[in-house]
Amino acid sequence: MKIAIGSDHAGFEYKEQIARMLRDLGHEVKDFGAYSTETVDYPVFIRPVAEAVAAGQFERGIVLGGSGNGEAIVANRVKGIRCAVCWNLESARLGRAHNDANLISLGQRMITVETALEIVRVWLATPFEGGRHLCRIQMIDA
């Protein structure tokens, strides 16, 4: 699978470990930055991940920050993106199965790295259950 990944400074360390795990599992990964723990403005790195997934260049995307909330907000402003904030395995499974999440957002300050890695594994392995649970709404540009 082709996966885009990006973070701000607060999610950098987990991003590096997740990208390494994904490559070890045989996935193609593009890192959109940030490239260190030096303070950055997170939308600069998150929006390009969401845009690349929305454009079909990547099948899925992962964004990271301190809590994951701001990253999800930025990602979800891109038409065609369904980004779920995941803080445990069940939120990852349901985000995929019920909401067809094509991006997930993780908070490095909220979970352990082991949990983050397992969330990614669960999210990648969970199929979308189809229209049974999803009520798609038409996006209106503000």
Parse the chain into domains and list their residue ranges. Answer: 2-132
Out of 13, 16, 27, 98, pick the active-site residue: 98
Q: Name the pLDDT band for 130 (thresholds 50, 70, 90).
A: confident
Average pLDDT for the chain: 94
- How many Å separate Cα 26 from the centre of its chain? 18
Catalytic annotation present for 71: yes
Out of 71, 114, 129, 133, pick the active-site residue: 71
Q: Name the pLDDT band for 132 (thresholds 50, 70, 90).
A: low
Residue 90's Cβ-side half-sphere holds a number of Cα atoms within 13 Å equal to 0
Asked whether 1 and 124 are in contact (CB, 8 A), the reply is yes
Does CATH place domain 2-132 in 3.40.1400.10? yes
Asked if the peptide bond before residue 116 counts as cis, ω within 30 degrees of 0, the response is: no
Q: What's the whole-model pTM score? A: 0.91
